[in-house]
Amino acid sequence: MKVKYFTSDSRDAAEAMAAANFACDRDAITFEVIKDGESTGVWQILALYGTPEEINKADAGFATYYEAEGVYLEMYAARGGGEPLNRTALALHISRKNISGLDMTAVQALAASPRGGRARIAPPQQEHKYGEDITIEINRNESEAWAKLLAPEPGGLPMGLEAAKKKVEAAGVLYGLNEQALKELIGAKVYNEPRLIAEAAQPEDGENGKLIFHFSTDERTGRPREIGGGRVDYRSLDLYVPVTEGQLLVSRKPATEGKPGATVKGKVVKQRPGKEVILPKGKNVDINAEKTEMRSKSSGMVEYIKGSINVSNVYNIDGDCDLGIGNIDFDGSVHISGSVRTGHVIKATGGVIVGGGVEGATIIAGGNVEIKNGMQGADKGRIEAGGAVSMMYIERGTVIAEGPITVDACVHSTIETGGSMYAKGHRGCIIGGHTSAAGDIVAKTIGSIANTRTEIEVGAMPKKRDRIQFLENEIERLTAETTKLNQLDAYLNSSKEKMNHETWEKLYLSGVENRRLNKQSMEECSNELNDLKYELEHATEGKVHVFETVHPGTRITIASDMYKVNDDIQFATFRYKDGQVVYGTCELKKE
């Protein structure tokens, strides 16, 4: 449909002008009188050339005309169900026409008129035919830039790639331009549809340093090999990993810096560098100059305990540990083919294996302890292990282990384990005494038909609570030491000119070294304290699993609640829920 205002000194003349403009007969045009010239002598009509349906549903529109008297703007009101005036399109059109001496008041008044009209908006001038153009929009976080191709006027020039790139740069897009997308936008001639033309580069965070262990660091379970029929082989235990001299134990992959990113406006977005990792502490190991590899110094066994790698030689004793041998304090592992007699003390930084039994003796090991038979402790026998403990039985003894403990029978003994306690085998019982495990406790039977008092506790080991208290006191002490070092620094700064230079420098260097050692100790204590507190927070996760019967006289404590067993309970799992100990059907399969 075509529409335009015509003005003349008569209606007939105005209609003739419309017919000539549209190149059609007057009968094909619909005329509306805007100004009646009967009194003024000036007629203005609105001529609409189109089908009745087009005219009745026409959208609001506008047009500019460059005439001898000036630049004119015509506005056409919407008809019927037509769309109202698109003010954004009008503003963009006026802007792109580059009209000199533009009267914005006249433009705004005409745009506000519900009936439309015609008004002079600028003095006479040469018409500017605008060509294709683009607009650029950058989102708030500057991660994307979008472009729209604007249509030209009839006769307007197309936009070239270089001109478009200059427009993009002028809009502030300095990084991440997809030139191919911009080229396709211009070539497709699809107007007023946004297209992504630039994207920010996201920063690439660095990778943390990584330790690669070339031996198994899985927890040594100490569990005996099952041979079927409810029987187990206590001579085949998962206790240690053998190594040979020069064997690669650990390699270190250094951290990477990563790569910074950039917004579409060219602002640098910093990445997060990876955190470096250092090789663990170790004994009897070699570390290369670059500190990227750790190798074994000798053949023996390797253990990974409390963040430290130890390669230990093995001290073999053929026979019993008795008066002919004496006490043992060895930096490595100890293998005893016989038994350990009452009163003897065995200390080993590695593991201890006893081929026979243990009487009222003491065994302190940094690693795992394996006793082929068992312990008849007579209330004197004691075992402390940094790893797992496995034995046939323990009667009236004490076992404290960081790792799991596996026995066939435990009678009137004190047990503390940082892992789980397994009473398995032919008897699989725990009778009397006090058994505490940070993990689970698994047994066939707990207590006895004689209602023997048997204390069972799962959660954090008591000695870990003591360790937390020690670490908190140590941190307090180190903090006080730091305060003293600060006071020393202040004193040295104020007395540098008065004090003997040699004395001053000696005190200064001593303070620097003490501060370094203090900081290192503070970090180690804080890290260990955080780990122990985390364990305490999850102390409610431990469970007690019983395949057969829990007898009366048994007390089961989990976290802050204790359950007294008054009647036989069979095939059950005890756990902590909603502040109390509850039980249900055993969650493990019966072996």
Q: How high is the mean pLDDT in each 10-residue block of the chain (591 residues)?
A: 92 93 93 87 92 91 94 93 90 92 94 91 94 93 94 90 93 94 92 94 93 81 53 45 85 94 94 92 90 87 82 83 83 89 90 95 94 95 95 96 95 94 93 93 96 90 76 91 87 84 87 89 91 73 93 90 94 91 91 61
In terms of C-beta density within 10 A (0-12 exposed, 13-18 middle, 19 or more buried), how is residue 172 classed? Answer: middle
Closest CA to 219 of 333, 301, 296, 305: 305
Query: How far apart are the C-alpha atoms of 278 and 469, rounded to whole Å?
Result: 28
Query: How far apart are the C-alpha atoms of 357 and 434, rounded to whole Å?
Result: 22
CA distances for 39 relative to 10, 192, 316, angstroms: 11, 47, 132
Residue type, 463: K
Instruction: Return the pLDDT at 197.
Output: 95
| End-to-end Cα distance, the chain | 90
List, as one string, the DSSP characters of 269-336.
Answer: E---PPPP--PPEEESEEE-TTS-EEEESSSEEEEEETTEEEEE-EEEE-S-BSTTT--EEESSEEEE
Instruction: Give the containing element (helix H, strand E) for 64.
Output: strand 61-67
* Residue 302 · residue 249 · CB < 8 Å: yes
Instruction: Return the pLDDT at 296.
Output: 92
3-class DSSP assignment, residue 298 = coil
Instruction: Return the pLDDT at 283.
Output: 86
Residue 214 DSSP class = S
Query: How far apart are the C-alpha atoms of 556 and 535, rounded to whole Å?
Result: 20
Instruction: Return the pLDDT at 235.
Output: 36
Residue type, 152: P
3-class DSSP assignment, residue 145 = strand
Exposure of 183 in the CB half-sphere (CA atoms within 13 A): 4
Closest CA to 383 of 395, 373, 396, 369: 369
- What secondary structure, in 3-state letters, does 204-246 show? EECCCCEEEECCCCCCCCCCEEEEECCEEEEEEECCCEEECCC
Query: How far apart are the C-alpha atoms of 35 and 7, rounded to whole Å?
Result: 9
In terms of C-beta density within 10 A (0-12 exposed, 13-18 middle, 19 or more buried), how is residue 509 classed? Answer: exposed
| Crossing angle (nearest 10°) for helices 179-188 and 161-170 | 120
Domain boundaries of the chain, sorted by first residue: 2-122, 133-199, 327-460+540-585, 463-539
Write the CB contacts of 187 (distance below 8 Å, at least 6 apart in sequence). Answer: none
- Helix and strand numbers, DSSP H then E, in the chain: 9, 44
Dihedrals φ, ψ of 465, to 5°? -65, -40
Q: Partners of 436 in the beta sheet? A: 416, 457
With vertex at residue 224, the alpha carbon angle to CA 542 and CA 241, rounded to the nearest 5 degrees, is 95
Instruction: Return the pLDDT at 219.
Output: 64
Closest CA to 309 of 296, 291, 290: 296
Query: How far apart are the C-alpha atoms of 149 and 191, rounded to whole Å?
Result: 5
3-class DSSP assignment, residue 116 = strand
Beta strands of 83-202 (E only): which ranges?
A: 116-122, 133-138, 144-150, 195-199
**Residues 90/91/95/101 CA torsion (nearest 10 deg):** 90
* Residue 65 · residue 74 · CB < 8 Å: yes
Query: How far apart are the C-alpha atoms of 476 and 485, rounded to whole Å?
Result: 14
Write the CB contacts of 452 (distance below 8 Å, at least 6 apart in sequence). Answer: 431, 432, 551, 553
Instruction: Return the pLDDT at 216.
Output: 82
- Residue 460, Cβ neighbours under 10 Å: how many? 23
Closest CA to 104 of 115, 95, 114, 113: 95
Residue type, 422: Y
How do beta strands 2-8 and 43-49 pair?
antiparallel
Residue type, 557: T
Query: How far apart are the C-alpha atoms of 8 and 37, rounded to whole Å?
Result: 9
Instruction: Return the pLDDT at 310.
Output: 84
Token representation of residue 234: 């206590």
* Residue 386 · residue 405 · CB < 8 Å: no
Instruction: Return the pLDDT at 220.
Output: 55
Query: How far apart are the C-alpha atoms of 421 and 410, rounded to whole Å?
Result: 10
- Residue 388, Cβ neighbours under 10 Å: how many? 30
* Residue 274 · residue 256 · CB < 8 Å: yes
Write the CB contacts of 248 (distance below 8 Å, at least 6 apart in sequence). Answer: 214, 293, 294, 295
* Residue 253 · residue 209 · CB < 8 Å: yes
Query: How far apart are the C-alpha atoms of 270 and 283, rounded to whole Å?
Result: 40
Closest CA to 427 of 230, 578, 159, 133: 230
Instruction: Return the pLDDT at 222.
Output: 45
Exposure of 154 in the CB half-sphere (CA atoms within 13 A): 1
Write the CB contacts of 97 (distance below 8 Å, at least 6 apart in sequence). Answer: 64, 127, 128, 130
Residue count of the chain: 591
